[in-house]
Amino acid sequence: MNPALLAGLRVVELSAYVATPLCGLTLAQLGADVVRVEPLGGAPDRTRWPLSDTGTSLYWSGLNKGKRAVAVDLESEVDRRRVAELIVEGGPCVVVTNTSRHADLGYEALSARRPDLIHVLLDGRADGGAAVDYTVQAATGFPLLTGTGTVPVNHVVPAWDVCAGLYLAIGLLAAERHRQVTGRGRSIRVALEDVALATAGNLGYLAEAQLTDHSRTKSGNEIYGTYGDDFETADGVRVMIVLLTERHWHKMLAATGLSAAFAGLSETLGISFATESDRYRHRDVITPLLARWFGRTPYAEVAEVLTRHRILWERYRSFAELGRDGGAALRELALFESVDQPGAGAHWAPKSPIQVDGGRLAPRPAPGVGQHNDEVLGASADR
């Protein structure tokens, strides 16, 4: 069993922040040899929070596990030539980048020398305009539906960066398949704004806005079009439940002993709770009764009852709780393995979420600035 499906794939990554480093990480976790090219002194995201107590960026370390790193002066024509030689010499290569600043490292220049080159570029907007995740969020409608107040709320997770990084990897692997068949490379481009708008369209949000007069409003933890909400137990523990199907609904009623109560409400009020739409429309009737049950039931009993009835539920946990006692909760999960990151220390870090024949490659520490200059660039690293 070998989870390194991409062993032998050479990737040169000229990038920063989330999307393109995540693309490289995704490939490295499947066995690709990913070399991250940074400016002298290190990329600007090497100092991004969160930081360890010693000042090492845990953000950078997390997104660059298992890669090799070289540091060059990208403003120097000589050093850019060295990077170009790294790309075009040797076996077939893939370039992953979020900048088109240097034409001599762009697709046209490199593919003229290496027709089998795959070049993957992240743009902010499809028209070439600049954008980052949080500005894209502002333009796509989602923050106006997040939270409960009157002001827009950006999501703390840079979701469009994450999605874009995975789209980049998918496009890259499609181009790699094409190269295997034809021997020719391809130019792949993904725009961050396109990813967000495509998602809004694919989920039907944009079609709803065009074709109906429905006015979407903020609804906190309620789930639009189905039944879901958060509740507090008798001892102050907050949980989230989701009831997607009629079977889920009846299991919840059986778990809480509310079957007869809702049957009576249905008959008295002349309403139905049979479909997702019904339960969403009548959530103002459902929620108070469920809240009463949760409010008088201790968490231990809630957990036992909901689990026994196979309800979709989970207790809210903080990052602090997940990391408590040296990451004891993470240690129990097959996804995590201990990594000793220089400058930060030993901690539990994730492997790839992708299992290959039941296995995953162990995580490796992120590299230091220019750690692999000699190894990757050879004698030319000494200027």
Residue partners of 1: CB distance under 8 A and separation at least 6: 356, 357, 358, 359
Q: Of these residues, 33, 79, 133, 161, which one is catalytic? A: 161
Which phi and psi angles does 13 have, rounded to 5°?
A: -110, 120
- The answer to whether 192 and 128 are in contact (CB under 8 A) is no
Q: Taking phi first (over 0 means left), then psi (-120 to 50 degrees means alpha), and beta for anything else, what does residue 35 get?
A: beta
Angle at 290 between CA 154 and CA 294, to 5 degrees: 85
Active site residue 230: no
Q: Return the closest-CA partner of residue 134 out of 163, 164, 154.
A: 154
Q: Return the closest-CA partner of residue 120 out of 174, 181, 161, 40.
A: 174
Which phi and psi angles does 171 have, rounded to 5°?
A: -60, -40
DSSP-assigned beta bridge partners for residue 191: 123
Q: Running DSSP on this structure, what letter comes out for residue 362?
A: P
- Compute, in degrees rounded to 10, the torsion defined by CA atoms 268, 245, 144, 49: 140
**Token duo for residue 377:** 């660039």
Rounded Cα distance between 275 and 360, Å, is: 40
- The answer to whether 5 and 27 are in contact (CB under 8 A) is no
DSSP assignment of 69-133 equals EEEE-TT-HHHHHHHHHHHHSSS-EEEEES----GGGSHHHHHHH-TT-EEEEEESSTTS----H
Rounded Cα distance between 54 and 132, Å, is: 28
**Token duo for residue 23:** 């693309």
Give catalytic residue positions. Answer: 161
